[in-house]
Chain A
Amino acid sequence: GENVEQHPSTLSVQEGDSAVIKCTYSDSASNYFPWYKQELGKRPQLIIDIRSNVGEKKDQRIAVTLNKTAKHFSLHITETQPEDSAVYFCAASRKDSSYKLIFGSGTRLLVRP
């Protein structure tokens, strides 16, 4: 069945360092891969996404890479700041007419000042 595995479950970095979160998906028909950030007590919010026809996408300090062959995608955060501390969820879906996202289990990122 459809499944997305996410690692690590927790990640602690020093402010200014980089953080990398990795996800693997099982459904080879998946073609849309968003990342959501959820701060404590808040709603999840989209921070970046990538489609299967693109290998990499960058937005300021955040980048996502996709390896379709390995069914693997990763989130890279550079120059981390304390406000980056949150839970990050990767997800995958078939981008057809239905918005069904299969989420990973989440990574709790702590950026130490």
Chain B
Amino acid sequence: KAGVTQTPRYLIKTRGQQVTLSCSPISGHRSVSWYQQTPGQGLQFLFEYFSETQRNKGNFPGRFSGRQFSNSRSEMNVSTLELGDSALYLCASTRQDNTGELFFGEGSRLTVL
């Protein structure tokens, strides 16, 4: 079974631009969540989607948004990029059972210049 796939793996943007990151969950997983990982802040929850609905949102500004499609694939968008948005963005999918285990992708490393 293929793992969680994230694209692109690396990207460089300049301040003010916007970026879209994509995540394909493990087949059969309907919950997708996004985390931002930085050396100083660790892993911070961005949002979680299930059946195309955002079920939970972290404490990030409105520049960060996401969506989920009917095939469970998810995208997140960051508009008006700031230098502080440079980070590894991790997507994770979860089985809808009682285990709670997150299966992470390898991440999209965003550098904002």
Contact = CB atoms under 8 A, between A and B. Distances in A.
A99 B42 contact: no
Interface residues of B, number: 25
A44 to B, nearest CB: 5
B43 A99 contact: no
Q: Is the interface of A mostly helix, strand, loop or mixed?
A: loop
Of A32, A49, A103, A104, most B-chain CB atoms within 10 Å: A103
A102 B45 contact: yes
Contacts, number: 62
Interface of B: 31, 33, 35, 41-45, 48, 50, 55-56, 58-59, 90, 92, 94, 98, 100-102, 104-107
Contacts of B55: 97-98
Interface of A: 1, 32, 34, 36, 42-46, 49, 89, 91, 93, 95, 97-106
